[in-house]
Each structure stands twice: as C-alpha cells, then as structure tokens.
Amino acid sequence: MVENELARHDHVGEQNVVYGSEPTVNFPHVTGARDSSLMYRGMNRWCPSHPIPPIESPHSEKLTMNSVHWISTLAICAGLSLSSVASAQDEAAKAHAAAHAAHAAIELPTLGVAMIVPTKDSKVRGLLSLTQKGEELKISGKINNLTPGEHGFHIHTFGDLRGTDGTATGGHYDASGHKHGAPGAESHAGDLGNITADENGVATVEITTSHTKLHFVLGRAFVVHAGKDDLTSQPSGDAGGRVATGVIGIGNPDFKMPAK
C-alpha cells in the first residue's frame, strides 16, 4: 500500500514531490523514492551545517513551511559558498602582493662592464664601467685608437654583435618614444652625446645620466661612431658608421684587474 501511495504521488504538477522515509523535492526529472533520497542526502552533505528538512506530503500544511525552510537553507548555503570564494580571492590577492614586495626587494646589480671591440676595418678598443648610485648612472673608462675629435656615443637597443659592421645592435635604446637629441629627459635614453678623442686617439669617458638605470641597459650595447653626433638629425644624429661596439654585462664587484 505504501508503495502504491508513493507511486501515485510520484508526479505532482510540473515538479516531482516524493515522500516516504527521506522525502524531498525533485528537480526535473528525478523519479523514484530511492533517487530522491540520494539527492536529499547529497544536499545535506553539501551544507551539513544547515540540513534540509524533509517535505512530507504535497497535501500537508507542512509542505509550504518546509519549502520555505528548504529555500532559505539553500540561500544560506549559497551565501556561505560565495563568502568562501571571496575569502579565497582575498587570500590570493594578499599572496600576490607579498610576492610582488619580495620581488621588489631583490637587490639589483649596481656594477656593469663593457668591453669595447672594433667592427670591420677598425682598431678601436676600450673598457667601460657603469656604476649605479641612487638615481644616477655613471659611465667611465677609456676608448683607444679613435681619430682625434668628437665621436657619437650611444647605448643601442640590442646586445647583438653578429655581423661585422655593428648594425645588429639596432637603433638607439629608447623606451619612451622620444626623438633623438642631446642627452636629456626628452631624448632617447641611450643618447649620450659625444666623446672626444685627444691627439693620441684616446677618449676618456666620464658621463653621468639620470635618464636610465643600469638594470634597464644590461644586455644592450654601446656603439662608438666614426663621426660627431650633431644632436639634431633623425634618427641618430648623422654620426656616421659604427667603429666599435660593446655589450653591457653585470660586473663582478670582487674582481681586481691584474697589474701590468
């Protein structure tokens, strides 16, 4: 008789209402008391802190109150789930911020070096050091075997010494879309003006710039030009061919040059 009564009330309207030892509301279309019982248990496992009450009969006055309780419980569980997601997102954001702070705290190199080597048919050579102190980058050293006079001197984009003419180093290093010009905030970051060789062909380099930093130019290249940079012509000051190049690397602060 119980089985017949259960089967008789297996479908009510557009939704299934099953009752018995563990009744619940079916979501279309789960039929049979056993399947509904499994769904009921599953919902209670999903939110064990707010167990869903059984719905006894489609004709019982308890149906309406229990339905309201069921819906309210579902809303509470959904709210708890959303709260958990928000909490997880907050923890992820905190972890990201901590990682960013740790990355920012990494000590950046403060010493760079560049061996200046000749291009084809040139004998220009030299050694330069780069020292970062606060906001200022100091470039110092000597370049030999130049023709007397001024020579365009820049940091170029690529530390690529393939080929024989220095053109693999690309154009002047510039991260801000500026035009070529005299060293300054409105020029290429790699615009260092001119160096001057004496009658012996030796140029002593002493340049300080605050328009770039060492860690931005590591892996890029110095280029020494055959002629003077007019500081106006685009894109590189009409300084002539490239007579020497040198890749900027991280310097070893503990290294001492051997005595000559």
Q: Active site includes 151?
A: no
Q: What is the DSSP string of the chain?
A: -HHHHHHHTS-BTTB-EE-SSS-EEPPTT--SHHHHHHHHHHHHHHSTTSPPPPP--TTSTHHHHHHHHHHHHHHHHHHHHHHHHHHHHHHHHHHHHHHHHHHHTSPPP-EEEEEEEE-TT---EEEEEEEEETTEEEEEEEEESPPSEEEEEEEES-----SSSSGGG-SB--SS-PBP-SSSTTB-TTEEEEEEE-TTS-EEEEEEESSS-HHHHTT-EEEEESS---SSSTTT-S--SEEEEEEEEE--TT--PPP-
Annotated catalytic residue within 151, 211, 220, 225: 225
Annotated catalytic residue within 151, 211, 220, 242: 242
Annotated catalytic residue within 151, 156, 211, 220: 156
Q: Active site includes 154?
A: yes
Q: Active site includes 41?
A: no
Q: Active site includes 242?
A: yes
Annotated catalytic residue within 188, 211, 220, 229: 188
Q: Active site includes 191?
A: yes
Q: Active site includes 225?
A: yes
Annotated catalytic residue within 172, 174, 211, 220: 172
Annotated catalytic residue within 151, 174, 180, 220: 180
C-beta atoms surrounding 173 within 10 Å? 20
Annotated catalytic residue within 154, 174, 220, 229: 154
CA dihedral over 50, 51, 52, 53, signed as positive or negative:
negative
Annotated catalytic residue within 191, 211, 220, 229: 191
Residue positions annotated with a catalytic role: 154, 156, 172, 180, 188, 191, 225, 242
